[in-house]
Structure 1
């Protein structure tokens, strides 16, 4: 792609054509859409004689193109601070005309190779899987067996209408799992309501769940429809169900048995058709044993189970998740920021992530705002190297660990199918089976 001001454009196109380049010239005024439609791996931008408005327009075009660009400048361009900033932050390289033009071909070839690689990375497996690219699974990104097992479980439980208990540590994405179940169920077109049982005062939970009549208590100046009734026909997600007070557990149990509710202060029994999804980060079986949770309610809620794995159990997804959220929040980053350094990716894999995916999102967003360089460094993420677990291993152990990580990632990208995995890794199916047995990976990852 060549984006320049006439009459320089024609001469530049002829010169590049002579060097063997296939040139797609853009005549001014060119739009962002025109630039995006160019199927190019690299671009050339001519900077001399640009007005301030023209410079800002070119800057936005370079960012929108998403490809490495090489600048062609005159000697006095480097005296202009705004031009200098655009070239330093957005260009892959630059040449000064006329005596450096012979270097343009070399720079452009490097830029094209980089652009091709960037496109392959963006389109390929490193971009991860988003629940079979289904919009119903939202931000549940992953390509490892652990995540594919979760996606498969979600599809299974979504097909029936029983209550579901979702367990997992804080920040793993239990509400996203509940949303994914709802979106894949027959109730997808009906309401989805979520309530955090641990975030409401005890005296408000009953009113929030069941609603109240006017005058039922001080401050009840009008009738209020509760969350259960509001979700009629749809799905109600009760987060942190383990924090629900015992006296309210009785009311919820009664609703699950009769499918009828009574508003606070009311006598009428109201039939409600709603599916209950509950989530907790505590061990409900232990809570039952310690008499902090009703056993009969536990069995009513725990008809189907979904366990959301902590991030440390699928570290191969950390880079995929980090890049996914980097792209999602790219509108918040400075223009010169291009991604993560290798060292940042390494420390992210070594970090234990006690806050799981929620912590990863927060650290990536903070780093994107605070980073002053082209690539995010460990310090930008707020992860201190000295806080990382130190472990020593032999060379053989390191090779085995790397081999296992590569195999798990490849299996995840290929939906755990051996044939395409062996083709991707360039080995036989027998070798894949042998490696799976060696590293304790089940042949059928459900």
Structure 2
């Protein structure tokens, strides 16, 4: 549970209200009583209950009327109507006006507790579903780690060793290397796999918005907080939260996150109640965190808390032997997504992709394969289908370059990126220096910038 639940009882008969209070407090929940229905709106605003038990027949104000007023101010606040006149018409009217459930007098204590717990469970499930619908596009059939290189084998070993534990993991690597995919794999192999995985991109939120997303907020906590809302630390209880790009967070947020990790408790924005949470925390960053610590933009104590285990993902240029498998995987994925089947890729074109440096890593490769698949006119992908990789401004539909044209452009571009260092150029392209010289001679490429001497 994320903290003690608070129940507000609205009942004009004190004896009945006291009986309900004894039942509710006996189950470990907090309880408030209001025998003045006209004061309920003010009391709800002040005390922020999690559920309201409201009698239907009261002298000062009708329970249905009060229900409408509550739902106008707090549409997400569950209300259970209590009535001694249980008819189908009453039940339908109460549910139509927003009641979560109703109780017919007399009722045993167990039925009251069951109704209250059911409301809590339904509210949490509804909020979880709302969040997971936003995240549904990430849970696709083809989302899996692909590769057979030694780097990927080592990655699988690391995942296998840590998945069944609850240790916090910091995943590092360049943009596009698949950090979130690894986080999801860790979750799906963990003891928490049957509970939710909640990913949040820290770079897409600023200041209060990020804290509201994670900690939740009470009504009026800030200008646009028109109603109370649970945060991920409540929704993800017993599950996993993944902080993508944790290095982009502010010092104030880092301090609050450190407190949650240390104490397993937090407060909603604008709230006073301390809530408990039990989540596994996974993080990622493409920044040099130790450099950020030295510059004073990231807390060192938080780094050690988050990085109990660190996993570094290699860039695609460091595992080029996986490119053929990745291309096949993305071709199948494109067929599933766009219903356009391609027979494959020519060996010369695959060789060209193996030599390309892939600065955007796997994400760039996937986008390239999808774009080429959508625009291809033949049965197989050829070099001209990937012309956009070498001249971003050119239109592959208008350009008719040969494989040699593309290869020449790739070598010349890599030479410039490596400041004309032949050893580095050959290494980045995955060929020997001798092969580089042979290709330069065959393609008429100068290995030195005009007017400068050769560099190793």
Same fold? TM cut 0.5: yes
Alignment equivalent of 1:319, drawn from 319, 324, 335: 324
1:383 maps to 389
Asked if the contact 1:137/1:179 (under 8 Å) is kept, the reply is no
Alignment equivalent of 2:281, drawn from 276, 280, 293: 276
Larger relative CO (CA 8 A, sep 6+): 1 or 2?
A: 1
Asked if the contact 1:136/1:179 (under 8 Å) is kept, the reply is no
SS at match of 1:293: coil
Establish whether residue 299 from structure 1 lines up as the match of residue 304 from structure 2: yes
Decide which structure has the larger Cα Rg and report it.
2
Establish whether residue 262 from structure 1 lines up as the match of residue 267 from structure 2: yes
Asked if the contact 1:170/1:355 (under 8 Å) is kept, the reply is yes
d(CA) in 1 for partners of 2:244, 2:369: 25
TM-score, normalization by structure 1: 0.56
Alignment equivalent of 1:145, drawn from 147, 150, 159: 150
Asked if the contact 1:240/1:280 (under 8 Å) is kept, the reply is yes
d(CA) in 1 for partners of 2:357, 2:196: 36
Matches of residues 37-436 of structure 1 in structure 2 within 5 Å?
138-331=143-336, 332=338, 334=340, 337-381=342-386, 382-384=388-390, 385=406, 386-388=409-411, 389=414, 391=426, 393-394=433-434
Structure 1 stretches of 4+ with a deviation exceeding 4 A read: none
Deviation at 1:333, TM superposition (A): 5.6
d(CA) in 1 for partners of 2:287, 2:308: 17
TM-score, normalization by structure 2: 0.55
Deviation at 1:270, TM superposition (A): 0.4
**Which whole-Å deviations, capped at 9, do the CAs of 1:163-208 have from their partners, x for residues lacking one?**
1100011000000000000001100001110000001122311111
d(CA) in 2 for partners of 1:278, 1:226: 18
Distance 1:344 1:258, change over 3 A: same
**Which whole-Å deviations, capped at 9, do the CAs of 1:23-80 have from their partners, x for residues lacking one?**
xxxxxxxxxxxxxxxxxxxxxxxxxxxxxxxxxxxxxxxxxxxxxxxxxxxxxxxxxx
Asked if the contact 1:136/1:180 (under 8 Å) is kept, the reply is no
2:47 maps to none
**Which whole-Å deviations, capped at 9, do the CAs of 1:369-428 have from their partners, x for residues lacking one?**
100112111221223320343646347x99xxxxxxxxxxxxxxxxxxxxxxxxxxxxxx
Query: Structure 2 stretches of 5 or more lacking a match?
Result: 1-139, 391-405, 415-424, 427-431, 439-456
Deviation at 1:267, TM superposition (A): 0.5
Asked if the contact 2:142/2:333 (under 8 Å) is kept, the reply is no
Asked if the contact 2:334/2:340 (under 8 Å) is kept, the reply is no
d(CA) in 2 for partners of 1:363, 1:282: 25
d(CA) in 2 for partners of 1:222, 1:210: 14
Query: Structure 1 stretches of 5 or more lacking a match?
Result: 1-134, 399-446
d(CA) in 1 for partners of 2:240, 2:339: 36
SS at match of 1:323: helix
Asked if the contact 2:217/2:225 (under 8 Å) is kept, the reply is yes
Deviation at 1:215, TM superposition (A): 1.4
Deviation at 1:291, TM superposition (A): 0.6
d(CA) in 1 for partners of 2:250, 2:383: 43
SS at match of 1:328: helix
d(CA) in 1 for partners of 2:252, 2:271: 18
**Which whole-Å deviations, capped at 9, do the CAs of 1:281-335 have from their partners, x for residues lacking one?**
0011111111110011111101111111111111000011001110122242645
2:448 maps to none
SS at match of 2:194: coil
Distance 1:216 1:370, change over 3 A: same
Distance 1:318 1:326, change over 3 A: same
1:93 maps to none
Asked if the contact 1:137/1:176 (under 8 Å) is kept, the reply is no
d(CA) in 1 for partners of 2:155, 2:274: 38
SS at match of 1:319: helix
2:86 maps to none
SS at match of 1:198: helix
d(CA) in 2 for partners of 1:339, 1:180: 28
